[in-house]
Amino acid sequence: MNDLPLLSLIVPVKDEEEAIPPFLTRITGVLDALRTPEGAAVEWEILFVDDGSQDATLAAIMAGHTRDPRIAAISLSRNFGKEAALSAGLDHARGVTVVPIDVDMQDPPEVIGEMLDRWREGHEVVYGVRRNRMTDSFPKRLTADLYYRAHNWLSDDKIPEHAGDFRLLDRRVVEVIRAMPERNRFMKGLFAWGGFRQTAVYYDRAERAVGTTKFNYLKLWKLAVDGLTSASTVPLRVWSYIGGAIAVGALAYAFFLIARTILYGVDVAGYASMMVAVLFLGGIQLLSLGVLGEYIGRILVETKRRPIYVVRERIGIADKED
């Protein structure tokens, strides 16, 4: 690996033309200041993944590449989503270590030096953890906390709470993730599934400096569902327990009705109680069918075996098969 850069940064972007110039100004200064234990400059590259931008994002990246050939890019044929963009970056990054980072600079690039120190100590995954989420709104903080707790309760692949995609990955970890064939991807879950020696670095997350977030609550909900269904089959198994509990309750109620009829004679059931029972059981059935449908839909996507992403153009990267 002597001919490979020590560090590759993967930067997924969509409609971020305003954020790219200040990001490059800050990040290149941080990377140029990095040193090996022997005092030599760290070899690095920045790999942007343009996820179907409709503005001048690609032009801003090309301008950066013209100034510094260590800045490269992949332009995808359309918007495939951040998880697919990260997968494309992992497929094309050449570094001995790889760090996904967002262009909004909320995750401070200055932490990368500390991540490299932890990597040199023998850790293959060094994930960044926010000390607090005060830059997020209260609903987002609440839902994020609930999601992490639910995911780690349901899944055997525990993800660190309040850790995003910002992390350092050793080349061995990258190759394991690249070898995973699934199309429905939840990268935090894949990072956790891979195992290896992991540790955390802590930092304060800043407000977004330029541009606006491309995530809304609907997209975050979809990402949460993808994360839970890709990491656990508990949502499927739980309906067996719910169905068993309802069956036991129904049987007990049937014995109660038989005993009451024997003791007090025939009793005509009320309309209200019957409607409540029918609507309750109907709702339970539809909910369970919805959960089953989520998994069947993912099976359909996997069996199609379509590529995770399609590359339209490469900048500063030799052509290769996807």
Instruction: Collect the ranges in the chain with pLDDT lower than 50.
Output: 271, 320-322
* Contact of 72 with 46, CB cutoff 8 Å: yes
Q: Which two tokens stand for residue 86?
A: 């990260």
State if pTM tops 0.85: no
Q: Which of 308, 320, 253, 310 is nearest to 280 (CA)?
A: 253
pLDDT at site 136: 59
Give the residue ranges of DSSP H helices in 187-270: 187-194, 217-231, 234-264
- Contacts of 144-153 with C-beta under 8 Å, sequence gap 24+, read 147/224, 147/227, 150/228, 151/189, 151/227, 151/228, 151/231, 151/232
Kind of pairing, strands 97-100 and 71-76?
unpaired
Element (H, E) at 72: strand 71-76
pLDDT at site 322: 42
pLDDT at site 320: 46
pLDDT at site 40: 82
Whole-number Å distance between alpha carbons of 117 and 278 = 61
For residue 98, is it left (φ>0), alpha (ψ between -120 and 50) or beta?
A: beta
- Contacts of 24-30 with C-beta under 8 Å, sequence gap 24+, read 24/64, 24/71, 26/105, 26/109, 27/101, 27/109, 28/68, 30/109, 30/110, 30/112, 30/113
What are 259-285's pLDDT values in tens digits?
Answer: 766 666 655 556 456 655 666 777 677
For 46, 57, 67, 143, 207, the CA distances from 220, given in Å and listed in that order, are: 27, 23, 36, 10, 19
Residues 6+ apart with CB under 8 A from 200: 126, 127, 128, 129, 160, 163
* Contact of 176 with 253, CB cutoff 8 Å: no
